[in-house]
Structures are given as C-alpha cells and as structure tokens.
C-alpha cells in the first residue's frame, strides 16, 4: 500500500470550532458513496429513462447514509482532536456548525469542490 500526502483545509464554524477536512474526495471514496445511492436501484430502472429519473428512486435514507459516510471519510480533526474522534466530535457540534460542515461535505460529493478549492487558500499537508 502506498502512502500519499493528502492536502487538507480548515473550516471555521460560526461558533469558532476548527474542523480540518481533506480538500478533495478520492475516486475510491466516491465509489463507496455512489454504491449507497445505487444500492436500491436496478439496471431496469435505467432502461428507457434518463439517469435523473432513475436516481429519483434513491431512498432518502441512502442520501443520509451517504452523507454520514462522507463525513467519516473526509473529516481529519475537530478542534485539534484525532481522526478517530473526528466524526463523533463533529456530531457533537452545534446544529448550525454542523450545517456549515455538511454544506462543505455536500460540495465534495456533488463534484463542485474543484471550483471552490481554487479560491480557497487555506490548505495544509496531512499524511
């Protein structure tokens, strides 16, 4: 297994918490998230209809589970804590702080981070 350095960025929440997240999602991570969305869709759901219509069959719970998985994979630390504590620490944030974090994470899973990262100068290196 190769170890590669992965860049991070810091998000400061409205309450002043400092959350460090990876600044991109890997292909393997995105495949795991996509698998949650596709779990309840059959190949027949795509037959003769567009992808948008087939995706309308994704259960709401799958969206929630995909967000949870993305949080677990992408959060590096909360207020200087460890990666192992990061998810639980994020869940303990105030609702408005978690909402800011979720907005950021949702950009990763929707493929809109490239544009955002180009204008986001706060990055560091994490092994």
Q: For 6-45, how does the pLDDT look when each residue is reduced to its tens digit (9 = 90+)? A: 999 999 999 999 999 999 999 999 999 888 877 776 666 5
Taking only the tens place, the pLDDT of each residue in 41-85 is 666 655 655 555 555 666 778 888 889 999 999 999 999 999 999
Q: Is residue 42 part of a domain?
A: yes
Cβ pair 20, 127 in contact under 8 A = no
Q: For the whole model, what pTM was predicted?
A: 0.73
The CA distance from 89 to 14, in Å, is 16
What range defines the domain where residue 22 resides? 7-126
Q: How many domains in the chain?
A: 1
**Domain presence at residue 2:** no
SS3 61: helix
Handedness of CA 11, 13, 14, 15 (dihedral sign): negative
Residue 80 lies in a domain: yes
């Amino acid at each position: 297994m190769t170890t590669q350095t992965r860049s991070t960025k810091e998000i400061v929440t409205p309450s002043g918490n400092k959350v460090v997240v990876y600044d991109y999602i890997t292909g393997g991570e995105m495949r795991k998230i996509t698998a949650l969305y596709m779990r309840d869709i059959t190949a027949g759901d795509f037959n003769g209809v567009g992808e948008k219509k087939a995706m309308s069959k994704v259960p709401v719970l799958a969206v929630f589970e995909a967000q949870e998985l993305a949080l677990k994979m992408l959060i590096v630390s909360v207020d200087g804590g460890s990666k192992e504590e990061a998810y639980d620490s994020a869940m303990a944030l105030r609702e408005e702080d978690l909402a800011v974090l979720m907005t950021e994470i949702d950009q990763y899973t929707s493929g809109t981070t490239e544009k955002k990262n180009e204008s986001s100068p706060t990055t560091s290196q994490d092994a």
